[in-house]
Amino acid sequence: MAATNRAWNLESFLDSLIVELDKARETLAVKAINKPLTYAVKDLNLELQLFPNYDGKKVRFTTAQPGQTGASKIGIQLGSITDQQIRKTTKEPTTRDDISIDIIEEIDEDTKDSLRKIGVSSVNDLEKVEKKNVDLEKVSNKKVNYKKLSKLLQKARRTNLPPSIQRASMSVSTEGKVLELEGNNLGIDRQFSPVAVFNGDLAEVLSCDTVSMQVRVDEKQFKEKDNVLVMALDPFTVLKININNPL
Amino acid sequence: MIDEAFLKLSDFIQELSEHESKVEGGDYGFNMEVEEIKLGMPIQLDIVVEEDGKIALGGVPPLYYVETSVMPVFHSIKLSLGKDK
């Protein structure tokens, strides 16, 4: 027996059990190449003698040791399921443009636990819940405040999608000079109107989307070099660029 | 690391899953195949929580059954094996 008998949680136990089953199945599959008729594990049932313990947040189990009596009996049954059933019952993994709540340091563990309990594990999950007008404060017993959380998530999403400028050009029309910027992840918050300041004066943002931005600038403000354009793209992003020769 | 007296659970399951599937009648001229095998037994388990939080699982069937003052803990395992088609 192991020298220490540390408590474990069911999720980690099941993960390990499934990995062990997979390993056994893979070995049997290799053997089946030379030995055509073999057996596969269709289902597995384990009955464990355990001591459950609830610490106020999570249930953990301690395996009964020799000589210990009064253990609870817990049964785990694993049955084989088809890939179609997996697709139907499994949530899609977090995608590249989504952010798992686990990696957002500003969200405390209690809030993360409360979110997980209501099935929210990523920013997209949270947005889906919000779209359905679910009162998060009620379902999480006032542990989750959506507005506060939403800001943290937007900030995290922004960190994941930093803005970049690839090209800057100037066009001249009857309305004046328009600075045209091309890049990536520029205006990603549609609810926010970007603000631009050119050489210290407010400049009008004519349009802004994720890949381009147009800013009307005052001709008198232009200098030969060291023109500075500062843009607030959303509440978490300020972008400063130096333009030496716009024309 | 699991105790060396235990088999890795994957090895244990694999050992339990290897069977001769053909039943031959020899001189009587019949051949049969076993479609399904169900087995169950008590098992001693070694459940070790590693430093990284992962769990290592070891298992071994009871080697003998003798009343001792401190009895080992017997969990139970049941497996259904079907023909791998």
Are residues A74 and A11 part of one domain?
A: yes
**Amino acid code (one letter) for A27:** T
Is the pLDDT score of A188 beyond 60? yes
Q: Does A128 touch chain B (CB under 8 A)?
A: no
A103-134: per-residue pLDDT in tens? 777 777 877 887 787 778 887 887 787 777 77
Pinpoint the alpha helices (H) of B1-84.
Answer: 9-17
Are residues A76 and A110 part of one domain?
A: no
Predicted-complex ipTM score: 0.85
Are residues A224 and A153 part of one domain?
A: no
Minimal Cβ distance to A64: which of B21, B40, B73: B73
Q: Which range marks the domain in which residue B64 is found?
A: 7-82
Q: How many Å lie between the alpha carbon of A68 and the closest alpha carbon of chain B? A: 8
User: Which residues on B lie below 8 Å from A19 (Cβ)?
Assistant: 10
- pLDDT level of residue A142 (50, 70, 90 thresholds): low
Gap between the Cα atoms of A164 and A229, Å rounded: 14
**Average pLDDT score over chain A:** 81
| B2 in a structural domain | no
Q: Which range marks the domain in which residue A124 is found?
A: 91-160
Quick one: pLDDT at residue A86? 65
A4-8, A215-219, B81-85: the lowest-pLDDT one: B81-85
Q: How many Å lie between the alpha carbon of A53 and the closest alpha carbon of chain B? A: 16
Quick one: pLDDT at residue A96? 66
Mean of pLDDT values over A197-218: 87
Are residues A45 and A31 part of one domain?
A: yes
Instruction: Report the C-alpha dihedral over residues A77, A80, A82, A86, rounded to 10 degrees.
Output: 30
Quick one: pLDDT at residue A2? 43
**Quick one: what percent of chain A has pLDDT higher than 90?**
13
- pLDDT level of residue A71 (50, 70, 90 thresholds): very high
Q: For residue B15, what is the DSSP state? A: H
| B63 in a structural domain | yes
Q: How many Å lie between the alpha carbon of A6 and the closest alpha carbon of chain B? A: 6
Are residues A216 and A141 part of one domain?
A: no
Gap between the Cα atoms of B63 and B73, Å rounded: 13
Are residues A209 and A195 part of one domain?
A: yes
Highest mean pLDDT (candidates A28-32, A136-140, A141-145, B3-7): B3-7
Gap between the Cα atoms of B59 and A159, Å rounded: 46
Mean of pLDDT values over A223-243: 86
Quick one: pLDDT at residue B78? 94
Is the pLDDT score of A140 beyond 50? yes
Minimal Cβ distance to B13: which of A1, A20, A42: A20
Are residues A155 and A101 part of one domain?
A: yes
